[in-house]
Amino acid sequence: MQRFTMQNFTSNQPAIHIQHLDHCFGRGQLRKQVLFDINLEIFSGEIVILMGHSGSGKTTLLTLVGGLRSVQSGSLKVLGRELCGTTPEQLVLARRHNGYIFQAHNLHRSLTALENVCMGLEVQGNLGRQEMLERAAAMLEHVGLGDRAHAYPDNLSGGQKQRVAIARALVSHPAIVLADEPTAALDSHSGREVVNLMQTLAKEQGCTILLVTHDNRILDVADRIVTMEDGRLINNSAISAAA
């Protein structure tokens, strides 16, 4: 099996390169197409927000980019590697270059904040336990939760839980961060803090962010805004967030 690596990827290439991507759910008479001829380029270091009504295909596209679903047709290259036609094992390797942040934060309730962040390093498979703990502790300090490292999720506020999720996503310095409605469960103050933190850390680390949201309050963090409707990109050229 060919190992998924970043050896041949250069920063002048799109970090995410999508051409004529279609996707369907179901089979036979129940088969329904949910993505239609998606074409999109996102470059290293960009923060791109993907908007659209519920059911427009945003999350489906995000999960395909993240290697959480298999690409059925068209071309989807991430960090220079084609994901269409890859094996499940190759998708697992591809996912190691990504950080994931979701609305529900997906923290393990039985683990402390520190242990949850360590999980973002365990998939690397090449670090000792002490080094993982030190890196996780440093990242929690970076997101302002150094004093909550040993707290369990049930003892954290919604904004604090999402900060832990951000720390877990970024602790391995991923090339790409994929965020699905990261502020949906937060009030306006906590939501703003969370996206500002994502923006700062991503720029520091030079990673690419693709963020799905309905939250009009956070659009200013984006370099570009792309809109989907009924499984299609309706502004393929993208809209400048500063416009």
Domains and CATH numbers, the chain: 46-70+97-240 (3.40.50.300)
Given a cut of 90, whether residue 214 has pLDDT beyond it is no
- Give pLDDT, residue 236: 55
- Give pLDDT, residue 63: 95
- Give pLDDT, residue 4: 44
- The better pLDDT of the pair 28, 35 is held by 35
The residues pairing with 33 across neighbouring beta strands, listed in sequence order, are 24
- Give pLDDT, residue 3: 42
- The better pLDDT of the pair 28, 115 is held by 115
Given a cut of 80, whether residue 42 has pLDDT beyond it is yes
CA atoms within 13 A on the CB side of 5: 5
Average pLDDT over residues 113-139: 90
- Give pLDDT, residue 159: 87
Instruction: With cut-offs at 50, 70 and 90, classify the pLDDT of residue 125.
Output: low
Least confident of 101-115, 120-134, 161-175, 216-230: 120-134
Nearest to 210 by CA among 44, 69, 9, 92: 44
Query: How high does pLDDT run on average in the chain?
Result: 87
Least confident of 51-65, 83-97, 184-198, 205-219: 184-198
- Give pLDDT, residue 10: 61
Which SS3 state, helix, strand or coil, does residue 223 take? Answer: coil
